[in-house]
Amino acid sequence: MAEDVVTGMIPLDEPPLTFDPSKYVAQLRENWASESGDASYALLVRCFVLVSATTSRIKIVDTLVNCLRVLIESDPSSLLPAVWLATNSISPSYISLELGLGGSAISKALRQVCGLDNRSLKVIYDKYGDAGDVAFEAKKKQSFTLRKPKPLTIKGVYQSLVKIATSQGLAKLKKEELADIWSKSEEIVKASFARHPNYNDLIPALLQTGVSEELLVLCGLELHVPLRPMLGSITRDLSEMLTKLQGRDFACEFKYDGQRAQIHCDDKGKVSIFSRHLELMTDKYPDLVELVPRIRGEGVDSFVMEGEVVAVDRQTGELKNFQTLTNRARKDVALGDITIDVCMFSFDLMYLNGQPLLDRPFRERRELLKSLFIEVPHHFTWVKSLDASSSDSEPVLEFFKSATENKCEGIMVKILDNLTKIPDIRDTPDRALDTPQSKPRGRSKGKVNGEAEPEDQSAKTRRKPLLATYEPDKRLDSWLKVKKDYNASFDTLDLVPIAGWHGQGRKAKWWSPILMAVRNEESGALEGICKCISGFTDAFYRTNKEFYNDEGAEMGEAKNVRIQKPSFIEYSGPSPDVWFEPQEVWEMAYADITLSPTYTAAIGLVSDERGLSLRFPRFLRKRDDKGIDEASTNQFLAGLWRKQEASSRSSKNGEGRDIADDEEEI
């Protein structure tokens, strides 16, 4: 019998003279057996619920007495913790042992544990006021997407509270010092996992070395274990890119429209090929595997190389688009069955002859790549590149035009050299795409009207030098993406489809509009940003309805949909007809970003009450090369909005328009 059913049957508020605790001991012990016989916290909660429901002092005493009698007979070891919890304390008053948790910490915990957004939590606070009542109501609203967690025990809850209180030694440190201690340890673990993303190896290494620099050696880059790729920050145009990289030398590279690939080869000739999502795709590209012995130069025993696999015309070398590449079989491809030829455009070398190259500057890694590997026309080559500096605006513009004319998405721009010192790995925190918020870098030392320009010391200390090293799983300004404009007034975001409504008229049998979301990198939640009805073809609508198919939902036969809103989705607008199982990324264009009372995207980052939404969102394409963990983040969206507002103010166009009117149109 379920625990809550058993405890719900016990009449704890009955007069003690008629209440017989022995009747319930057997059932309770049976339920508690999975927790080593420890009494469940549900029993104490049941007692507290009954106590809070009455103002009668006699009833309150009777209920508490009966609860303690049950514990005495069924689990005496839980009696003392229950008494402390019932008295709202965890130690005698003469022993200084306090939790020291404020309201903000409790609210944050409730949001994370119960899957609530700020607005939903505020509604509960407004209704109940007391933090305990709020927590109780929030817990009742919690839904579980996976299996339910193990039930809490009375002893477990009490011991956890004592642990929190006894950690006061660290609590006495300044917040900044404490954050520094934790962040450095966190960065080491992150750096290790980015180089070697396998918990089977990471956890034993942690137990062996603890969190130290040795972890990066013991559990670092290894052949045939993919490392998480370095990512590029997005810039809106060449002007912004040149401003960010002022005073630095950089390389511009064609950003080919293909599939990013990581090729590993050991000294025995074994080859592994991984996607940007770290999926093994060696079987997909047997032609690349066969190519490896031909491209290895003299003295190359083992390597890890990165590049872009692009569909090409083998005779002419003409580049084909990504859609062509997607038509290639994905598994067990035989060389004789290949109908879509590919070329590997290499751009980085991360490992060579047993030595990681991650800490080497990009110029050096690139030189090794070009000098030690052999070009095979229309099969293997290097990305087309141009070395430049921020003063070379004209050559960079011409190179950018050449890239777009050659069917590329745009260009990648990469810092070539480090400054005087490469910062320690722990000093380069994983900055979620915050570049839109950063201010343009001014000239470090120059003259304005004949006078020396003072250095901005505050900016100097705030901003770390851009790195030319390879930083796995980081999105830094040392790599910048400049994509071709879809329209002078449009930008693009990579969004996740999370829900849909039945269409009207001709579209009644399809999903239209479709609710889109950005990703909250901190909480993992998906935050609603807009509904989209533009850019879809009838063929797309049909395919989309077949993929997100709600037919037979009541019988559990639906595909890729949910009947109820998942707890990890934050959206407070009108309820959709169906919730999608989030798994795709769609590239969307839009006119501009607006404040919205309906959508929760980036709420709290630009406004406490309103989120952000898109005006005139338009579907461009599915990003089959991206998973939802690579969708645009709320931080990035907030940065774009700030930049837009700054531009609007300079053009005297006023503040962002509220989305409410546009919602009526959709």
CB 423 within 8 A of CB 465: yes
Cα-to-chain-centroid distance, residue 326 = 25
Active site residue 483: no
Burial letters 132-154, b for 16+ CB under 10 A, else e: eebbbbbeeeeeeeeeeeebbbb
Query: Residue 325 in 3-state DSSP?
Result: helix
Please give the torsion angle defined by the CA atoms of residues 364, 366, 368 and 369, in that order, rounded to the nearest 10 degrees: 170
- Active-site entry in 255, 483, 531, 545: 255
Burial class (CB in 10 A: 0-12, 13-18, 19+), 621: middle
CA dihedral 180, 183, 184, 185 (to 10 degrees): 130
Torsion, CA 584, CA 590, CA 595, CA 598, rounded to 10: -50
**Cβ burial 392-430 (10 Å sphere, 16+ → b, else e):** beeebeebbeebbeeebbbbbbbbbebeeebeebbebeb
8 A C-beta contact, residue 38 and residue 71: no
Nearest to 113 by CA among 153, 154, 152, 158: 152
- C-alpha angle with apex 389: 385 to 390, nearest 5 degrees? 125
Residue 38: partners with Cβ closer than 8 Å, 6 or more residues away: 32, 75, 77, 78, 153, 154, 155, 156
Question: What backbone phi and psi angles, to 5 degrees, belong to 163?
Answer: -60, -40
* Rounded (10°) angle between helices 154-166 and 79-86: 60
The overall longest dimension of the chain from CA atoms, in Å, is: 97
List the catalytic residues. 255
